[in-house]
Chains A and B, each alone.
Chain A
Amino acid sequence: MAARLPGLGAVVAAPLVLLARAVDPPLRWWQRVAGQGGMAAVFLLPNLAIFGVFVLVPLALNLVYSTTAGTGILLGGRSFVGAAQYARLLECGDYLDALTCREDMFWTATANTFVFVVFQVTTMVAVATITALILNREIRGRGFFRAVFFFPVLLSPVVVGLIWRWILQRQGLLNLIMVSLGLDPEVWLNDRTYAFAATIGVSVWAHMGFYTLILLAGLQAIPKDLYEAAEMDGTPPARVFRRITLPLLGPNLAVVLVLALIRGVQIFDEVYVLTGGGPGTSTLYLTQYIYEVGFASVLRNPGLAAAASILMGLVLVVLTLCQLRLSRRGAARDAK
């Protein structure tokens, strides 16, 4: 691989190659001693060590936080209350009416997030797939167009929210365009439906480049001769897509689906800047709720926020597992 990197790449890669050569002999010895299973451990170790300290331990601590109450920031100054925070979150007169719940904002946010994710993930996957397919064609200026669609990913979420706020606000760019076209201006962000659609549109705008790139890498990995063979057989494009592209893209689509779902549920910064959760609470999503309860207010309730985040995580785990299982079954069926 190093040999194929030109110029600067070779310079960066040279010490890495040397390093890789140097670790081979000791690892060979270890392989003899410990066998293949031992090698698996070696490969996993660095990642799991860092992961354990900086991801698992904080998550475990978060679990502990969720069983405490008080305004104290450090665990030492908090009192244990068992499952009381969970009970408070889950206490509801009628689960379909958030206002009957003990924590009405939590349920409002949950319902909003659910609807948001359904629409956003569908749109995201569709748009990213179409874009990847198009960018995978042999067209003029492919590199340029790739950069174009990837560009918003480079922007920080706060800036994304801000740009679109300036576009969509009462006297923003969009209304300027509407007026110059002779249409009536609209206060987009004061309207529940438009504001909701805006959060979906803006998050797709900002992140689709990410998923497009993953899918594009997957498309590039499909051997070209499969397509050539199909073309020689005169197979119609739709059929080629269904029988070759889709199955071989399967693992990448699964990645995209899972990641889009997870990040959809966790949507925060750009929406926070764009709509601030409004109008009313119509675009208040879960992470904003958790953030406000846990950090933003002075009399914070970190225990309640932690409990809410764990409930959110649990739902996500279940959803992800279902999705992975489905995509695996789908892949198995397509392979037949």
Chain B
Amino acid sequence: MSRALAFLTRRRGHGGRWHWTDVVTWVWLLGGTVLMFGPALWLVASSFKGPAQLAEFPPTLLPYAQIAVPVAGHDAPLPLYEVTGPDGTTRQLAEIRRIGTNAQMVDPAEPGTRLDVDIAARRPVREVGLALDNYVRPLVANDFLRFLWNSVFVTVTATLITLLTNSMAAFALSKYRFRGRDAVMLLIVATLMVPLSVILVPLYSVVNATGLVDTLWGVILPTVATPTGVFLLRQYMLTIPDELLEAARMDHASEWQIYWRIVLPLAAPALAVLAIFSVVWRWNDFLWPLIVLSRRETYTLQVGLNTYAGELNVQWHYILAMTVVTMIPVVLVFVFLQRFITTGIAGAGIK
């Protein structure tokens, strides 16, 4: 234990003494872990709860199921309760049936004697139990593999196109001086200002006119020219020294080569950030695919899982389970890509 503690508290050190920044660091990190991860873990735990338990007040941390015990003379196992007697003693009884505010109970050890118990005096005995049905049913009932493939296709294609077109545009906007550059930049920033949820109808008209409704390209194309990506990459590329480009031009590198061999590698951290975001966004895209895709062979996972949202009732247990399933691939992508951020410019050889 103490070794584990020593391991955890190890720090870049000036002779083992704690600097106040180390304290802040660890308080922040551990506090952050609880705050960030806690609700998410709770989400995962909740995804294993049945519909009744999800609606339960007060909520429990873990999914529970009531224990049922076989009792002689009864076909089905009976639910087990802990009953507090009038004298304050407690015993575990199985319930045969409840009538109004009274429960007919029986001690599993002596199945012959029936007891009458006020329901206020009993509490269910429960154990951790997973409602795997939340996962199994949607996976079996839905065209899950098809949805998965559609999501992967949309995410990968959109991300590749985003990285390429956005980095090209950002390169032009950060490293060339030409007439109208500021105007183009302004235009791009300005279009960040109106959220998608507000221009749905005009956008749908455009997609409809281009014949892309109910196709995956109708989901991909409107999202790839993201102003955010251009903006992010441009700001990053501004920090790349122009001298590097000039030196390459001296060596007769073409502009395309400069972009491809110098600027892109140097912008790797920003590209990794954009790649991560693009993957996350496209994977989680919901509102727009919902509008474009109404035939189930084109559904993405997000659209598929939202079929459990009805008018008067939402089947949260399925939605939560499918949310957890859809989260797994993006977590993996993040773990893979975030390493590229650490490599950074410093390691790439500008000095």
Contacts and interface: CB of A to CB of B under 8 A. Distances in A.
Interface in B153-192: 160, 164-166, 168-169, 171-173, 176, 178, 181, 184, 186-192
A145 B270 contact: no
A31 interface: yes
A44 B168 contact: yes
Contacts of B238: 251
A58 B189 contact: no
A305 B172 contact: no
B339 interface: yes
Contacts of A220: 269, 341-346
A254 B235 contact: yes
A40 B172 contact: yes
B198 A47 contact: no
Interface stretch (B31-39, B67-75, B87-95, B97-105): B31-39
A151 interface: yes
Interface string A151-171: 111111011001110110011
* Chain A interface size, under 10 / 10 to 19 / 20 to 34 / 35 or more: 35 or more
Nearest to A214: B273
A302 interface: yes
Interface stretch (B107-115, B125-133, B139-147, B256-264): B256-264
B35 A221 contact: no
B222 interface: yes
Interface residues of B, number: 110
B346 A31 contact: no
B288 to A, nearest CB: 11
A210 B197 contact: no
Nearest to A291: B197
Given A167-B39, A221-B345, 17 more contacts: A37-B176, A43-B169, A47-B166, A50-B165, A50-B221, A55-B225, A57-B206, A139-B25, A154-B284, A163-B43, A214-B273, A252-B235, A258-B189, A268-B195, A310-B194, A312-B193, A320-B192
Interface of A: 1, 4, 8, 16, 20, 23-24, 27-28, 31, 36-37, 39-41, 43-44, 46-48, 50-51, 53-59, 61-62, 65, 73-75, 130-131, 134, 137-140, 143, 145-156, 158-159, 162-164, 166-167, 170-173, 175-176, 205, 209-210, 213-214, 216-218, 220-225, 237, 248, 251-252, 254-255, 258-259, 262, 266, 268-269, 287, 290-291, 294-295, 302, 305-306, 309-310, 312-314, 316-317, 320-321, 324
